[in-house]
Amino acid sequence: MSLEVVILAAGQGTRMKSALPKVLHPVAGTSMLGHVINAARALEPNAIHMVVGHGAEQVREALPAEDLNWVVQEQQLGTGHAVSQAMPGIATDSTVLVLYGDVPLILPTTLSQLVAQASEAPSLLTAIVADPTGYGRIIRDNAGALQSVVEQKDATSEQQAIPEINTGLLAAPAALLNTYLPQVKNDNNQGEYYLPDILPLAVADGLSVGTVLAASELEVQGVNDRLQLNLVEREYQLRQAQALMRAGVHLADASRIDVRGELSCGVDVSIDINAVFEGKVTLGDGVSIGPNCVLRNVSVAAGAQIHAMSHLEDAVVGEEANVGPYARLRTGTDLGRGARIGNFVETKKARIGEGSKANHLAYVGDAEVGDGVNIGAGTITCNYDGVNKHLTEIGNGVFVGSNSTLVAPLKIEDGGFVGAGSTVTRPVNQEELAVARARQRNITGWQRPVKKDNKD
């Protein structure tokens, strides 16, 4: 039987107190809805139907994928009503899996179990939770068979004591949904069409409703406010940290690493506290990341070391290179093998050759730097004339003295030498020494200023 997924995401999410629709709030850098869609895709369904309402346009724009079929629920009349909006687009001989856009940690393995037992009758994902307040409770008969779900607002105090709750996620044959959804009424305390109300209808027809008990409470944690969002974020980060450690990565503290994207690591990678990884980050064998570093779309080759407080974005770090502490590698930085970028050095669109160094306080932007180059403290490539950016080319073995100003476009050929404090505006040929600074004058017998005797 083919599978079609319906993701409910029309609710407002008032308790987030945010202009952003709830399901677009990120968990580990990806929207909650994005996580749910990924879990759905893992099951390779025939179609994914997105039921949206509040902020529909914004949600749609944020998820431009082609495999999503958008359904707008104009008025939020309840979960049963929401699913019925999607039914006209669903093949009647399929199995339907209903997911919530605000339950982002759900695992595909759990969903497969749910779908596997929903070919003949509905199957519901339940959970046993410490505090069931607010959830629908699972009502079973004496033999343990599921009879119905009673919402918090409709439950007697006896029913409220039941710890098994409805996670909201269920699977059912489309044909049964088409039969039962139109029969669901809204004569309850919220005046809503409840999706779980199809269950007693199925039971009355002699069907036995299956249940799958979620392995952990957090897997089915719904997000209604920012406290729950944080709970989910920390759980997700912990899962990732544990996976990294299982794969052989050394973490100084599993609770102080944030991966907001894809991090892949070689053997014997070591990551100190408070590292943040965003986008796609690759760390080669033996790489070490110091405390408080941020790496976004970066590839670091084997043996390189990134020291404390460094910020790297869209950059490539070569083997055995050394970065930081306090370095900033911006977009287009490409460090060669054994290169060294030290404290308070900023690089942008800069290729730095093998073994070349900029150890302290420099800006190297729009630059091609050869091998074995030394860039002294305080060196600046003046790449911008107020209108255009220009290139600085520095050959192999060049030495740039401290506090030099290299005015681009500029070429310093192999073996060139720039005297400290120079403002270099003209090309430097091979092996030449360029000195472009005022000559020192020493004045003997000069008078120091004397303090004036005035009263202000």
| Site string (129-168) toward ligand UD1, x via CB under 6 A | ------xx------------x-x-------------xxxx
Residue 25 annotated among the catalytic residues of the structure:
no
In the bound complex, which residue of the shown chain has the CB atom lying closest to Mg ion?
222
Nearer to Mg ion, 113 or 221 (CB): 221
Please, which residues have CB within 8 angstroms of residue 110's CB and are 6 or more apart in sequence?
125, 212, 214, 215, 219
**Quick one: tokens of 157?**
């105090």
Q: Does 33 bind ligand UD1 (CB under 6 A)?
A: no
Of 77, 293, 373, 418, the residue at the interface with ligand UD1 (CB under 6 A) is 77
List % helix, strand, coil for the chain (3-state, nearest 5). 20, 35, 45
CA angle 206-210-214, nearest 5°? 160
Nearer to ligand UD1, 136 or 303 (CB): 136
| Residues in 222-261 at the binding interface with ligand UD1, rule: CB under 6 A | 222
**Quick one: tokens of 164?**
């098994």
| Site string (116-155) toward Mg ion, x via CB under 5 A | ----------------------------------------
Nearest 10 degrees: CA dihedral of 103, 105, 109, 110?
-40
DSSP track, 151-205: -GGG--HHHHT--EEEEEEEEEEHHHHHHHGGG----STT----GGGHHHHHHHT
Nearer to ligand UD1, 73 or 404 (CB): 73
| Site string (207-246) toward Mg ion, x via CB under 5 A | ---------------x------------------------
Q: Does 79 bind ligand UD1 (CB under 6 A)?
A: yes
| Residues in 177-196 at the binding interface with ligand UD1, rule: CB under 6 A | 194-196
**E strands, 12-141, where?**
26-27, 30-31, 47-52, 68-72, 95-100, 123-128, 137-140
Nearer to ligand UD1, 180 or 194 (CB): 194
Binding partner of residue 113 among Mg ion, ligand UD1, none, CB cut-off 5 to 8 Å per kind: none
- Residues 290/273, Cβ–Cβ less than 8 Å: no
Amino acid (one-letter) located at 187: D
Q: Which contiguous run of DSSP H or E holds residue 341?
A: strand 340-352
By C-alpha distance, which of 333, 309, 342, 304 is closest to 321? 304
How many residues contact Mg ion, by CB under 5 A? 1
**Which residues are at the interface with ligand UD1 (CB under 6 A)?**
8-11, 51, 73, 76-79, 81-82, 100-102, 135-136, 149, 151, 165-168, 194-196, 222
Which residues contact Mg ion (rule: CB under 5 A)?
A: 222
